[in-house]
Amino acid sequence: MTKQVSSAFDAMIGHHKALVQGVNSRVENITLEKKDGKDAGRSIGDFAAYFRAEIIPHAYAEEEVIYARALIYPDLTQLIAQMKAEHEVLIAHVTTLESLSASDITSDSVQEIASLFENHVAKENELILPRLDSDAEVGLAELLDNMHKVLERLSANEQVLDATQIAPRERHEKIFETFGGLAPGQGFVLQNDHDPKPLRYQFEAELPGQFTWDPIEAGPERWRIRICRSA
């Protein structure tokens, strides 16, 4: 007997498949160029940009919507923690990639990131989504809808600045520098592993009336604040 799945389930699986293909096709370009001894700089940039534009926002939306809902099952707690950690690892890999020059990046290292992502997605497809889809209490269609809302919000030209990826002594400087680069009305999302209260005080002292501060997520493990330059 084949199991009935919802159209939202199919849509999520389909989107995952598209993301995996998006990553793998970029890896293929890099691998071919490296093999031919060509400069793969542009393809590597394209690979990293795809993560920034598609994969990382997807991961954030998923954590906020899908993973948060999956936590109703106590036996999935550990898996969800592991999945979040994998998101962090992927982001860290991409950040590293962006900091290196093309000649120092091997096709094996991008292949490794792609494999990590493919395995990660397989777990979502096999262990998390079917569970939610077969639960009458959970409306997967609504979750998908919520995920789209989060993605829309994220894609509104917003940059995400992960404070945990910046050395502590450079953190505030880097954050103010990012703010300084914003046009009126523009913003970015600051992500941190603790409540960035001192930073808020510093903003208030140095830029009174010039910014908005909107918490999107407030702990216990992650804080995300949308900081905008007032229009």
**Contacts with Fe ion, residue ranges (CB under 5 A):** 59, 62, 124
Are 90 and 51 within 8 A, CB to CB? yes
Give the nearer residue to Fe ion in terms of CB position, either 62 or 133.
Answer: 62
Kindly state the smallest distance separating residue 84's Cβ from Fe ion, in Å: 8
In degrees, to the nearest 5, what angle opens at C-alpha 111 toward C-alphas 107 and 117? 155
Give the nearer residue to Fe ion in terms of CB position, either 19 or 225.
Answer: 19
Give the nearer residue to Fe ion in terms of CB position, either 83 or 199.
Answer: 83
Kindly state the smallest distance separating residue 186's Cβ from Fe ion, in Å: 28
Give the nearer residue to Fe ion in terms of CB position, either 33 or 62.
Answer: 62
Kindly state the smallest distance separating residue 211's Cβ from Fe ion, in Å: 31
Of 116, 115, 95, 118, the C-alpha closest to 105 is: 95
Give the nearer residue to Fe ion in terms of CB position, either 47 or 179.
Answer: 47
Give the nearer residue to Fe ion in terms of CB position, either 34 or 87.
Answer: 87
Kindly state the smallest distance separating residue 15's Cβ from Fe ion, in Å: 8
Kindly state the smallest distance separating residue 147's Cβ from Fe ion, in Å: 9
Kindly state the smallest distance separating residue 127's Cβ from Fe ion, in Å: 12
Q: How far apart are CA 78 and CA 105, in angstroms?
A: 33
